[in-house]
Structures are given as structure tokens and as C-alpha cells.
Amino acid sequence: MTDAYIYDALRTPRGKGRKDGALHEVTSLRLSALTLNAIKERNNLDGHAVEDVIWGNVTQVMEQGGCLARSAVLASDLDQSIPGLAINRFCASGMEAVNLAANQVRGGAGEAYIAGGVEMMGRVAMGSDGAAIAVDPTVAMESYFVPQGISADIIATKYGFTRDQADALAVESQRRAKAAWDDGRFAKSVITVTDQNGLPILDHDEYMRPGTDMQALGALNASFQQMGEVMPGFDKIAMMKYPELERINHIHHAGNSSGIVDGAAAVLIGNKEFGEKHGLKPRARIRATAKIGTDPTIMLTGPVPVTEKILKDHGMEIGDIDLFEVNEAFAAVVLRFCQAFDVDPGVVNVNGGSIAMGHPLGATGAIIIGTLLDEMERADKETGLATLCIASGMGAATILERV
């Protein structure tokens, strides 16, 4: 089987995802095209240089509808002979795009791909696609559906995480993100978003709140307590599924959950011959990929079983991994990962995560792969694992190995 290498990884800054955010007037199509253009320009790609563009995004309606991947190719400077594939694995869409591209290269279906994703959450509202898992009673009732925030609070209750622990993780995420930006650690990967006149719109993650402390977070109300305890009463559904729980401890709020933001990311993946042909040096080998289905009610525990699976399938142990990126969808997701594997939090999300910088759903999986690769190079580490929890109960993971 042919090895698949990462030659480049970049992302846009993450915008606030609101009408007062810098990217609010930028469409999903334009942000995608800008990202594809940056990959093309940085790597001098001409003609049919890549086999396909695989592009993840979650809410595939309105401007993100149709085959956004193909629209983005046509709106970009890439050759029109390059097709496009839009995919959706919820929060892992960007990672799944990368993993799918890598496995296509491994299987000999083309020398190279551009993979990644986009989500403009300030323009296309999360949930506006009317997902069957939430609205169709034939599946929602059978699966004991609850919203993700309730699922995060179920994890906290089941595994014994307190509000203080969740808030402390959030404060640390903010501290690490600011330190990373101050130290220029994202300089090689973050591109500036410009307007149609070439003037800069955004050159940094604008969602960050570096002054966040335990006192500020302590003043916030739990975001999901009302929907859990009062209307529509999702706690009762949760306790029907998990009768061992006497009550749901609602610890999550806006400050220790991922931010609603806009953003895009792209990764250039190819075989050895592609790099030689274009004069490119590989930065890492994609050693392994994995995905798994999990309990759809607690929903967000996927990083644990998918990590167990990817390690077992490839003859590795948790101690073989030097660095981890675990998407900070909610604080309890990362707390559970560290608890399950007894991992030192000091090697998890070293440069902060989605609590501090935001979670543009379709892009985040590709973002954390790029962040992991940058940190492996900066810290001179050999092996890294990126993983995400996924809506409706799934998990995805990727293992990188420097070359």
C-alpha cells in the first residue's frame, strides 16, 4: 500500500460567528475558495494537479447546500478539471475529508488530494437542516435523543466531573491559545482573509477571551439546565436511558463549551511521487485513520473508543503517542479522554482548543490535524493523534508520524 503524506496544512482565522464578526459578510463559498487558492499558491499547483477536492461541511443548506466542494473549485483558481466531493460526518467532517483523501492515495486512486472543510455558523445556523435524528420520532424516540449539551452534562454526571474542573480546563484553554498566538505558533498555518480588493478582513482568531478566569466563568448560568429540567425536560429522557443516574449535573455553559464561529481549513495530501513531481517535501505521514459508532444518547464519548480502536488496529499503545489534539466540543469530552487513558493534560491541546478559539463544525477536524502537525514540528515530537466526538454518537481519529 502506498504511503499518504501531508505536504501542507492551513486554515483561516476563526471569526466570531455573529453579525458583528469580521467574517459575517463572507460566504462559505468565498472562504472555501480563498483557502483553496492559498493551497494552490503556496505549493505551485497547476492544471489537474490533484485528483479531487474533498470538502466537509455540516449544515448543507442554503449557501452551504448543493455540492459546495465543486462550487468552491469553480470559484477558486484551481483548474476546472478538478472535481469536488462534499461530505458530512458532523463535527468530524474536516477530519473525515482528510482521512478519506489519505486512504484514496493509499489505495492508488490518484496521486494527491486537497481535503478540509468549512462552516459559516454566523450565516447558516446550526440545526437549520432539520436533522432526522432530532425531529423524526421514529429514530429520535428509539435512540433516546437529547441535544449535545445534555449529552455533555451526562458525561460529567456519569464520570464525576465537577463544574470547577470544567471551568479550570476552559481557563487553561484560553491561556494556552493566547500564549500560542503571542509566540507566533500559528504563523505558518493561518492565512489572512481579505476582501475583494485584497484588503485584510481578519488575521487572527477573534473569538478568544484571554482575560477569562474562574470568577468570570463562575458567574455564568448552566446553559442546558432549563431544557433539561423544565421544558422540554430532556433530563427525564436521559434518566430513562441511564436509570443508574439519580439526576443530571448541569456543569456546561458558554464559557466551557466550544464557540460558535466561522472558519475553513485545507490539507494537501499526496504520495511520494506527487511530492517529487512538484518539488515538495512531506511534513508527515498519515499513519492511521479510524472511525466508530457509539451510544447516541451520551453521544460525545467517541474519542475514547475510536482511540482504542485505532491503537489496537495498528499495534500501538497510548504511550506511543507524543501529542494529542482532542476537540474541545465541551470540557467534559476532554476530561473524559484524559481520565480514560490517564494522559497528562500537558500534552493534550497544547495550544488551546475550541473552547478558546471556536469550533467551525465542518472545518475543525482539518484544523486540529494542522495544529497537531505544527506542534509536532515545533516541539520536535514524532507521533501525534487527533480525535473528535461526533453528533449522534460517533468518533473519528487520525495518527500522524513525522518523516
Residue 231 has pLDDT above 90, yes or no: no
67 is annotated as an active-site residue: no
Percent of the chain surpassing pLDDT 70: 100
Residue 186 has pLDDT above 90, yes or no: yes
Label residues 69-86 b or e (16+ Cβ within 10 Å = b): bbbbbebbebeeebebbb
Mean pLDDT of 136-164: 95
- What is the helix, strand, coil percentage profile of the chain, to 5? 40, 20, 40
Query: From CA 63, how far away is CA 32, in angstroms rounded?
Result: 12
Mean pLDDT of the chain: 97
pLDDT digits (tens, 9 = 90+) for 91-108: 999 999 999 999 999 999
pLDDT score for 140: 87
pLDDT score for 15: 98
Mean pLDDT of 343-365: 98
* Options 91, 250, 252, 253, the catalytic residue: 91
pLDDT score for 203: 97
pLDDT score for 233: 93
* Options 250, 252, 253, 359, the catalytic residue: 359
φ, ψ (nearest 5 deg) of residue 250: -85, 105
The three grid cell numbers given for residue 165, joined into one nine-digit string: 474542573
Q: Which residues pair with 91 in a beta bridge?
A: 89
389 is annotated as an active-site residue: yes
Percent of the chain surpassing pLDDT 90: 95
Cα–Cα distance list, 92 to 141, 225, 232, 302, 385 (Å): 25, 27, 28, 11, 14
Number of other residues whose CB lies within 10 A of the CB of residue 294? 20
Contact 393, 276 (CB under 8 A): no
Would you tell me the crossing angle of helices 148-159 and 331-341 to the nearest 10 degrees?
40
Query: From CA 201, how far away is CA 389, in angstroms rounded?
Result: 31
Query: From CA 333, how far away is CA 178, in angstroms rounded?
Result: 22
Ordered DSSP codes for 301-350: -THHHHHHHHHHHTT--GGG--EEEE--SBHHHHHHHHHHHT--GGGBST
pLDDT digits (tens, 9 = 90+) for 307-321: 999 999 999 999 999
pLDDT digits (tens, 9 = 90+) for 28-42: 999 999 999 999 999
What SS3 state is found at 182? Answer: helix
Residue 116 has pLDDT above 90, yes or no: yes
CA atoms within 13 A on the CB side of 399: 24
Residue tagged 449522534 (cell numbers): 392
Helix (H) or strand (E) holding 37: helix 28-43
Residue 133 has pLDDT above 90, yes or no: no
Mean pLDDT of 243-263: 97
Binned at pLDDT 50, 70 and 90, residue 169 comes out as very high
Residue 395 has pLDDT above 90, yes or no: yes
Mean pLDDT of 230-242: 94
Q: Rg of the chain's alpha carbons, rounded to an integer?
A: 20
Query: From CA 57, how far away is CA 59, in angstroms rounded?
Result: 6
Counting other chains too, the contacts that 184-187 makes at CB distance below 8 Å and 24 or more residues apart are: 185/351, 185/374, 185/375, 185/378, 186/351, 186/371, 186/374
Binned at pLDDT 50, 70 and 90, residue 134 comes out as confident
Residue 131 has pLDDT above 90, yes or no: no
pLDDT score for 51: 98
For the chain, helix (H) and strand (E) counts, in that order, are 15, 11
* Options 250, 252, 253, 389, the catalytic residue: 389
Residue 196 has pLDDT above 90, yes or no: no
Residue 1 has pLDDT above 90, yes or no: no
Helices (H), 44-184: 68-75, 93-106, 132-135, 137-140, 148-159, 163-182
